[in-house]
Amino acid sequence: MPSAPDTLFHKVWKRHVVTVTEDATLLYIDRHLVHEVTSPQAFEGLRLSGRKVRRPELTFATLDHNVPTENQLDIREPMSKRQVEALRTNAKEFGVTLYDMGSGRQGIVHVIGPELGLTLPGLTIVCGDSHTSTHGAFGSLAFGIGTSEVEHVLATQTLWQGKTPKALGIEVKGKLPAGLEPKDIILAVIRAIGTGGATGHVLEYYGPAISAMSMEGRMTVCNMSIEAGARAGLIAPDDTTIQYITATKRPFAPTGAALESALADWKLLQTDDPSAFDRIVTIDASSLVPQVTWGTNPAMTVDVTGRIPEPDQVPFTSREDARRSLEYMGLTPGTPISEIPIDIVFIGSCTNGRIEDLRSAAQVFRGRKVAAGVRALIVPGSEPVREQAIAEGLDRVFTEAGAEWRQAGCSMCLAMNPDKLTPGQRSASTSNRNFEGRQGPGGRTHLVSAAMAAAAAVTGKFTDVRTLLSQGV
């Protein structure tokens, strides 16, 4: 009798079951990524109970959230410095590899995992960070955890999971039009299902627009799965995945016989049939236009050609919550998106801080200038991304346009370093959260793609990047 079709997610889940109880599953964790913000209390917990890190060779740390991007080595805030020092001390004491500033490998934790070859299909990957969902782009089951769980994984290399998540298929049909980016797809998905639309679910993205996408783009899509409330987001590995892992030298990627056996295994990592999903949502990429968020959560999104909605016309949101959002954002219903002036442009983060994002921004900046009164920060996601951009001459495109070319870190994605909005300032940002105060207290964030952020930088407002690209320079 043929077995019932299964999903990629369940296949990966099942291979990691250590033991089960009545209503919980103990999962084995293959890679544990660590950064300075959510780990100090976990290491302290180990110390207090006299425990060790069970598998230090599967645990990797980096510094990203607090890192200044003008001069990484000059951390002026005492609290940031203390946190950075704490991770250095903990990594040394517990035998964990740390990719420190200047190591050539430092960067945002979700950017460096794939670069190092740590992120591979079929693995379980956790990190004390909700955007761990990024790594699902390789067909791994990757999710964010809290600090108590960080301590639990450090001590046991396992994690208890309650109810098994459901599998939600996100089919992305059609071909993404020129000028649009994977960011527009994921913003459209969140807009369609809401910020709580995938709570308790793992998303799997598939369909022609996903198959045609680069690994960088797939990471952007999986990255924001959490913004729909999903536990994780995955994409089945294919030739694009294998090419990414094997075509460049990645220190932890398998080679030789190990690679051969891995490749045979990765072929099995597919959803057998869409009927195996608990639910399916379909999006047509070919009908999308660039997306811009207007409110204080990532589902509050409209087309760049659209207008600010009336408070009683905001999906998934009560009139009162929508009214508070509009007030915080300083926006009036009916205003065309294209008439909203901006102060700051931030291009970077684990959503859009990879080389392709910088290339697409550079395409818009080339031969243009940052608009008067606007500040544009370009922050590569990692030291290797920065090196690559310099090798391609992108840094000069940015600086000649009048943008600031920075060092690697999380930067203005969450404003734990000196890069912050001041109250009332409005940004076009390639990051993933437009929450109140996310980029600095009182700051107003609009999420967009890298190309749209660049278009906002050179025009001083939200501009449909397709009009700039068709003009050429």
Q: Which residues bind ligand SF4 (CB under 6 A)?
A: 64-65, 108-110, 129, 131, 349-350, 410, 413-414, 431-432
- With CB under 5 to 8 Å by kind, the binding choice for 435 among ligand SF4, another protein, none is another protein
Q: Which of the choices ligand SF4, another protein, none does residue 399 contact, using the CB cut-off of 5 to 8 A by kind?
A: none
The Cα–Cα gap between 52 and 34 comes to 15
Q: How far is the CB of 108 from ligand SF4 (least distance, A)?
A: 5
Find the helix packing angle between 383-391 and 109-116, rounded to 10°.
70
Both tokens of 364, joined, read: 């818009």
Min separation Cβ 341 and another protein, Å = 23
Q: Is 155 in the site for another protein (CB under 8 A)?
A: yes
48-52, long-range: CB < 8 A, 24+ apart? 51/154, 51/155, 52/94, 52/155
Would you count residue 313 as binding another protein (CB under 8 A)? no
Residue among 40 and 380 whose Cβ is closer to another protein: 40
Site mask, another protein, residues 166-195, x = CB under 8 A?
-----------------------------x
Q: Residues 207, 236: contact at Cβ < 8 Å?
A: no
Q: Which is nearer to another protein, 77 or 303 (CB)?
A: 77
**Which partner, another protein, ligand SF4, none, binds residue 140 by CB below 5 to 8 Å per kind?**
none
Answer for which of 88, 103, 156, 238 binds another protein (CB under 8 A) is 156
Indicate the residue among 130 and 388 with the shorter CB distance to another protein: 130
Question: What's the CA angle centered on 31, arms 152 and 100, to 5 degrees?
Answer: 95
H helical segments located in 136-212? 147-156, 182-193, 208-211
Burial of 373 (0-12, 13-18, 19+ CB in 10 A): exposed
Residue 212 interface partner, choices ligand SF4, another protein, none, CB cut-off 5-8 Å depending on type: none
- Residue 78: name its binding partner from another protein, ligand SF4, none (Cβ under 5 to 8 Å by kind): another protein
Q: How far is the CB of 219 from ligand SF4 (least distance, A)?
A: 11
Distance, CA of 367 to CA of 450 (rounded, Å):
17
436's CB contacts (< 8 A; 6+ apart) are 296, 328
Q: Are the C-beta atoms of 61 and 98 separated by less than 8 Å?
A: yes
Q: Which is nearer to ligand SF4, 7 or 411 (CB)?
A: 411
Interface of this chain with another protein, residues 348 to 387, rule: CB under 8 A:
none
3-class SS shares of the chain: helix, strand, coil, % to 5: 40, 20, 40
- Cα(220)–Cα(223) distance, integer angstroms: 5
* Stretch binding another protein (CB under 8 A), from 81-89, 355-363, 377-385, 393-401: 81-89
Record the tokens describing residue 371, joined without a space: 């608009």
- Residue 431, contacted partner among another protein, ligand SF4, none, CB below 5-8 A by kind: ligand SF4
Give me the sign of the Cα torsion angle 420, 381, 127, 292: positive
Q: Smallest distance, Å, CB 406 to ligand SF4?
A: 13
Round to the nearest angstrom and report the end-to-end CA distance of the chain. Answer: 62
Does residue 418 touch another protein according to CB under 8 A? no
Residues 252-311 within binding reach of another protein (CB under 8 A)? 252, 254, 258-259, 261-262, 265, 297
Residue 120 vs 458, nearer CB to another protein: 120
CB nearer another protein, residue 259 or residue 280? 259
323 binds another protein (CB under 8 A): no
Q: Which of residues 443-472 bind another protein (CB under 8 A)?
A: none
In angstroms, what is the minimal distance from the CB of 412 to ligand SF4? 9
In Å, how far are 201, 287, 351, 380, 433 from 225, measured between CA atoms? 10, 21, 11, 22, 12
Beta partners for 124?
141
Nearest to 87 by CA among 116, 59, 110: 59
> Residue 33 pairs with which residues in a beta bridge?
60, 127
Tokens 């005492």 belong to 78
User: Applying CB under 8 A, does 442 fall inside the site for another protein?
Assistant: yes
Dump the DSSP string for 348-416. -HHHH-SHHHHHHHHHHHTT--PPTT-EEEE--SBHHHHHHHHHTTHHHHHHHHT-EE--SS-GGGTTS
Partner whose binding site includes residue 108, from another protein, ligand SF4, none (CB under 5 to 8 Å by kind): ligand SF4
Give how many residues touch another protein by CB under 8 A: 80
Neighbours of 291 (CB within 10 A): 26
80 contributes a contact to another protein by CB under 8 A: yes
Q: Which is nearer to another protein, 426 or 433 (CB)?
A: 433
Decide whether 213 or 224 has the Cβ nearer to ligand SF4. 224
Exactly one of 70, 71, 79, 470 binds another protein (CB under 8 A); which one? 79
Q: Does 163 bind another protein (CB under 8 A)?
A: yes
Q: Which of residues 195-254 bind another protein (CB under 8 A)?
A: 195-196, 199-200, 226-227, 229, 231, 252, 254
Interaction between residue 436 and another protein (CB under 8 A):
yes
Residue 249 touches which member of another protein, ligand SF4, none, C-beta under 5-8 Å by kind: none
Q: What is the largest CA-CA distance in the chain?
A: 69
Task: Using alpha carbons, select from 12, 223, 204 the residue that is nearest to residue 109.
Answer: 223
Binding status of residue 438 toward another protein by CB under 8 A: yes
